[in-house]
Structure 1
Amino acid sequence: MPASQFQNRQNNIKPDPEKLAYIQDDIPEWRQHLSENTINGFTGFLRFMSQRWLTVLNTFNIGMVGLALAVPLAEQQGWRWLSVPVNGLCNLLCVQEPSHSFFIEGHQMGLCQRCLAIYALLGLTGLLFHIIRNRLQPLKLWQYGIFSLPMLIDAFTQLFGWRQSAWELRLLTGGLFAIGTVWYIYPQIEIGMRRMKARFNARLLETRA
């Protein structure tokens, strides 16, 4: 490459505004590196989530069902070193009311019946969404309310002692809520993640140009 062309290319390079701000503000080099690593790490996380968000959610939801089953099975084997922390983890996301929970060999599951139905259907419907994610349109808010209303009615009427809820209703209403949640929220997440992915791809093309 001729020296004149090389010099012109150097002159056309735009300064990094972030690094320029560091120089102007006299920010120490270690803080520059820390800021750069933090931004790069967060950007990498967003890039990963834009590509794998559905896998992450499905793994979490199905994993919660697995943990709920693991609690009584571990208790049955006498593995309290496993059942106690796993049960504590489940307790962060569920009140674990004994009268509203299933038991295996006399040991309570880590999730109540309604939460068990919610996580199970979130996972299963999420797997189905993977197949139809390019075609499914999100529910309108009032339609999502129709899926959620049975659970709210069942939960509040039993909370105030007006009636006793049956396990069949808890499973049914929790499952309907989960299906409505996937149908309402997941398509919107998909749209947002596609836009984010497009921005990352556009920025990558700019850096390679």
Structure 2
Amino acid sequence: MAGGTLGGCAMAPQKPSGVPIDLHRLNQAHYVQVIYTQKQSAKVTYLKKLPSPGTAPAPVACRYASTGHQRWNRGAWIWKTRALLGHSRFAAAFLDKAHRLGLDRLYLYLEGPLDIYRPLLHEAHASGMRIYALTGDPSDVENPSVVYTTIDNVEGYNRSHQLGFSGIQFDIEPYALSTFANHEQAIYERYVHL
């Protein structure tokens, strides 16, 4: 996806909705919005540019259905993080836009040494935003040492920096392995035991 951002609300686990992904439209999109609610099936919207405020659909209310005092977390997954690193004015404008959209967390794809994220982590924390390290590859199922090394690196960074990552999200997607169709059960077992 060209320079894309994937945004949505974090939610309690539920059965996969089986929403089909239009790969042609996905490859042309700069932004993808995924909306899940408990009362509707998921909806995927592919956008070449962000809509202007007057034309944007109403935001989905993100709240836990179980209790009134909890609320849904809203986040965006940023795959092209280099655009935010080393460009403090752009990063500040991006964080401001994220706040106006009601986001409270960002998942930043790890591209390079963790120290390059320090200025962005400081600015995000100062504005109340939580930052998660985002990484993963289907081959991590076959080489779990990569997962453990990432955990060690992020934990080490957090121990040595007051404002660190709030956590790690692994986007491994084992079904993308070329061997998946013939070894589905074994691959899922390795995935579960990571």
If the TM-score is normalised by the length of the shorter chain, which range does it land in?
under 0.3
Pick the structure with more helix per residue. 1
TM-score by length of 1: 0.26
Larger radius of gyration: 1
Query: TM-score when scaled to structure 2?
Result: 0.27
